[in-house]
Amino acid sequence: MPPPKNKERILVIESNGPYGEQIARALEKENYAVTLVKNGTEGLKSIYDNLPHLILLDIVLDGADSYEIIEKKQAESMLAKIPLFLLSTEAVPINMHRIPVGVVSEFLVALHVSPEEIARRVNRHFGRAFEAPVSSTAKDSNKKKVVWVEDDKLIGTILAKKLTTSGLDLFHVKDGEEATAILKSVIPDVIVLDLVLPNMSGFDILQTIKKDSALNKVPVMILTNLSKQSDIERAKMLGAQKFLVKASVSLDEIVREVRALCR
């Protein structure tokens, strides 16, 4: 049965079946017409078949690759203008090299984003007030956004979990190019920056941030294994507000310092 014509049509492409169903129910409570598909191949077909008003796309999919879906969507003029929310609900880093600037309206990168929070953001996109009951994870409608640049997989996994479960809206990228790309669409409350990175050093990224009028007021915290006094002084001279050495601080201390800079 086709969805009612007076409802915005939302296409949810989500590989985690139970979680996708929870998202669909939360959106239906807000009076959206929701189509839920659970793999990339079916999702790509549904974009053509349904011409939705908004697409919620999981970054990790069975079948067609999510980046392939974005590429094919943008290649069709009729589909390119459909707004896209990109979900990484296992905090999987997003390959920003494969996403053209301006294509994604919202990035939701966290170990868990509640269905109610997703519905709230969809409502905001369409200019609606949020009506669904708000869960404990969605009560803070003004989550602080953190862009974190770190290429180490082990600390990336551990700290990403700690930051997101602490109620922060985390955008985790692996190098300077990805950081530059995501900072074109996200103005965070704080930037956490490693100094030893592939291709582009943390010092170079810091210089770029401080030269950008849209970003130069955002506080930057250095989180690195470098501990020489000359590195600390150089980072602070370039505009870093805080310098932490990974081996010398606990996860709780890192979270406290990030929250302090957010305030």
pLDDT bucket at 236, cuts 50 / 70 / 90: very high
What pLDDT does residue 180 have?
85
Give the count of beta carbons closer than 10 Å to the beta carbon of residue 212. Answer: 14
- What's phi and psi for 232, nearest 5 deg? -65, -45
What pLDDT does residue 129 have?
56
Q: Where are the domains of the chain?
A: 9-137, 142-262
- Looking at domain 9-137, its CATH superfamily turns out to be Response regulator (3.40.50.2300)
**Radius of gyration (C-alpha) of the chain in whole angstroms:** 19
What pLDDT does residue 189 have?
94
- How far apart are alpha carbons 235 and 237 in whole angstroms? 5
| pLDDT per position as a tens digit, 36-60 | 998 888 999 999 888 999 999 998 8
The reply to whether 9-137 and 142-262 are identical in fold is yes
Kindly give the residue spans of alpha helices, DSSP state H, lying in the chain: 17-29, 40-50, 66-75, 77-80, 115-125, 153-165, 176-182, 202-211, 229-237, 251-262
CATH number listed for the domain at residues 142-262:
3.40.50.2300
- How far apart are alpha carbons 241 and 260 in whole angstroms? 11
| pLDDT per position as a tens digit, 17-41 | 788 999 999 999 999 999 999 888 8
Q: Edge-to-edge strand order for the sheet containing 220-224? A: 169-173, 145-149, 190-193, 220-224, 242-245
Residues 138-162 have a mean pLDDT of: 75
Whether the model pTM is above 0.85:
no
- How far apart are alpha carbons 185 and 51 in whole angstroms? 25
Q: Which residues pair with 242 in a beta bridge?
A: 221
Q: In 3-state terms, what secondary structure has residue 49?
A: helix
Query: Which amino acid makes up residue 97?
Result: H
